Structure 1
Amino acid sequence: MFNKKSKFFKPLAATILSVSLIGSSFTPFASSIANENIVAEAAAPKNAVTSKVTEVIDGDTIKVNFKGRTETVRMILVDTPETKDPKKCVQLYGPEASKFTKDSLLNKNVKLELGAQTRDKYGRILAYVYLNDKMFNKTLLEKGLARIAVYPPNTQYLDELKAAEATAKKKKVGIWSNKNATNGGCAPKPAPKPKPAPKPKPTPPKPKPQPKPKKFKNCTELRKVYPDGVPKGHPSYDPKMDRDKDGWACER
């Protein structure tokens, strides 16, 4: 009995062992593919150009050092609320978007993936911007600091970015948090700074008291000080001493 069973179980055991080995080798392989897909989705493409951000103009517009030249870059498929358009008011969440972009990108190295159309009518580079291998265009949408803006032929990643916008809407974050912001409403103007109180005018110095005119009893006393007498208007002039009324007192 045992020998017959032994002959039967040997091939069966071998089969079970083979299946077990195949299964154990398959699992890490599948996991490896999944990880590769995640990395590939997050990483910037190989043709992206590394550039340093030198200035942030707005939430969706930056200046970079691109191949040795200063270039303005407009992010593709996103539009942040306005802060600099002279024809529009400063919109709700515009300052927040600008600040977020400035805090995140200024003086940092980013990677630029240019669109199918590389420049717009203003000469700006059109690009997907990557920070630490994550697309910053998508981050703005996730934060509710931008909405989708489609300008063909630059529609790569449109479905992915639409999904990010839809999630932000569902969460009601940023511009999706109230109807006024969603409709592009204006941000309240900051209260004017109070004017500084006028400085008190300096008190003018008190005039020095003028010495009292010295009066003399007679011409003899006056001539001791003023030998030739004094004219009319002089502090020591006294009409009584001007006998001839010629406007000179005590003249000789």
Structure 2
Amino acid sequence: MKKAGFGCLGFFVVLAVIAVVINAVKFLFSHINGFFLAFAFLSLLFAFLSFFFPRLGFWAKKKTKFSSSTGYFILAIIFFILFGITAPTQDTTHQKSDYQTAATKAKNTAGKSGSNPKEDKSKPAEAAVPAVKKHKKISTPSNQHAATLVETVDGDTIKVIYKGKEKTVRYLLVDTPEEKKPGTCVQPYAVSAYNKNKQLVNSGKLTLEFETNGDTRDKYGRLLAYVYVNGKSVQEELLKDGYARVAYIYHPPYKYLSKYEKDEKIAENKHLHIWSQKGYATDSGFNGCSKSTAAAKSSSAKQSGTSGAGSSSAYQNNPADDQESNMVCKGKIKGNANSKIYHLPGNPYYNRTKDNIVWFCTEAQAKKAGYRPSK
């Protein structure tokens, strides 16, 4: 029993010794520069004492004042060098305290600025704290796809680069007043809707989301999408501000239809923009023309017409039915007055282009009128 008891006691003693040694080593390495400095001063002391007691020079066989003193001077120099190597720099020593001091000043500045806003203008908070400024990353949901803006066409249409190709994107479920449609006048708030849309899509990272019910393209071949900028819905912003109405509900259910209807109702109740004139925004579109109607019709006629080798009326269609009208030639080239793109017979989008058609006999005529070939 005594042996067993002694064994247990010895085991704990060994553990205690190991713990002491580990902590001693940690302390030694964390304060090693202090030890080097102490040894350096001790070496200087022994170098002085060696003049009087040469026997202190234990390394020399012939213990003289010179050999003993010189040895300790050399040790002192070595320890001073080691102290210099291991000593922390001033920046490292005071980094934490400097940061805390700056943070405290920033906090005090923020506290003062809360009571006196005028001070904020002359003392920006960023200058107070020497910290790295963090940029907020905007994450893209998995159901949204990145796109690069090319051009804002009107209040509910944009052109983008999507998957390496230029695409025209028509906003799902919303409609804004017309300003560029051939054969129609410029409608009230059309320019305002265009400017609002342009401001939104130019303000950040552009992403597209597509509906899962199959509505991915309209009859003109344009992509149908929910459009976002920095994660904010462009459709919602247009509806809330009274620049758009909910429309084109062809294949319900739609993901955001009920939300859009609520946004539309809010703007309608506030009589914002398109809702400020009674009877202007209806279920079938917008009624009325802006004061620039005459100028708009003239501009529309110039855009729809094509000059060239004959009468312009021979090469432009009637926007009401979009029937082929260039019977005097064999070119039969279709131009879309909205997208300003022309399609040759045999092109995948040739038969899908059925409205807003401007007819051309040659590609040269189409390009001269400002149209570009379909990709």
Cα offset for 1:93? 0.4
- Equivalent in 66, 70, 77 of residue 173 of structure 2: 77
Residues 97-155 of structure 1, C-alpha deviation per residue, up to 9 Å, x if partnerless? Answer: 00111122138531100123111111100000011111111110001000010332262
- Equivalent in 117, 120, 131 of residue 218 of structure 2: 120
User: Which residue pairs with 1:245 in the alignment?
Assistant: none
How many angstroms apart in 1 are the aligned matches of 2:289 and 2:242? 16
How many angstroms apart in 2 are the aligned matches of 1:113 and 1:166? 24
- Equivalent in 39, 43, 53 of residue 149 of structure 2: 53
Question: Could you tell me whether the CA contact under 8 Å between 2:146 and 2:206 is conserved in 1?
Answer: yes
Cα offset for 1:65? 0.7
Unaligned ranges ≥5, structure 1: 1-42, 193-252
How many angstroms apart in 2 are the aligned matches of 1:140 and 1:184? 19
The number of equivalent residue pairs is 150
- Equivalent in 227, 231, 240 of residue 129 of structure 1: 227
CA 1:85–1:49: 2 relative to 1, 3 Å: same
How many angstroms apart in 2 are the aligned matches of 1:44 and 1:170? 33
Give the AA of the match of 1:64.
Answer: V
2:291 corresponds to 1:188: yes
Question: Could you tell me whether the CA contact under 8 Å between 1:80 and 1:147 is conserved in 2?
Answer: yes
Cα offset for 1:45? 4.0
How many angstroms apart in 2 are the aligned matches of 1:77 and 1:134? 16
Question: Could you tell me whether the CA contact under 8 Å between 1:89 and 1:186 is conserved in 2?
Answer: yes
Residues 191-229 of structure 1, C-alpha deviation per residue, up to 9 Å, x if partnerless? Answer: 98xxxxxxxxxxxxxxxxxxxxxxxxxxxxxxxxxxxxx
After TM superposition, the structure 1 stretch with the greater mean CA deviation from structure 2, 102-111 or 82-91, is 102-111
2:243 corresponds to 1:145: yes
User: Which residue pairs with 1:9 in the alignment?
Assistant: none
Question: Could you tell me whether the CA contact under 8 Å between 2:201 and 2:234 is conserved in 1?
Answer: no
How many angstroms apart in 2 are the aligned matches of 1:172 and 1:186? 19
Unaligned ranges ≥5, structure 2: 1-138, 296-375
The TM-score with structure 2 as length reference comes to 0.38
How many angstroms apart in 2 are the aligned matches of 1:61 and 1:105? 11
Question: Could you tell me whether the CA contact under 8 Å between 1:80 and 1:94 is conserved in 2?
Answer: yes
How many angstroms apart in 1 are the aligned matches of 2:290 and 2:141? 37
CA 1:107–1:171: 2 relative to 1, 3 Å: closer
How many angstroms apart in 2 are the aligned matches of 1:173 and 1:157? 21
Give the AA of the match of 1:143.
Answer: D
Give the AA of the match of 2:234.
Answer: F
CA 1:105–1:136: 2 relative to 1, 3 Å: same
Give the AA of the match of 1:169.
Answer: E
User: Which residue pairs with 2:188 in the alignment?
Assistant: 92
CA 1:134–1:128: 2 relative to 1, 3 Å: same
How many angstroms apart in 1 are the aligned matches of 2:184 and 2:287? 10
2:262 corresponds to 1:163: yes
Give the AA of the match of 2:245.
Answer: R
User: Which residue pairs with 1:8 in the alignment?
Assistant: none
2:66 corresponds to 1:66: no
Give the AA of the match of 2:178.
Answer: E
How many angstroms apart in 2 are the aligned matches of 1:167 and 1:58? 23
User: CA RMSD for the aligned pairs?
Assistant: 2.1
**Greater strand share, 1 or 2?**
1
Give the AA of the match of 1:178.
Answer: Q
Larger Rg, first or second structure (1 or 2):
1
How many angstroms apart in 2 are the aligned matches of 1:92 and 1:181? 9
Cα offset for 1:52? 1.2
The TM-score with structure 1 as length reference comes to 0.55
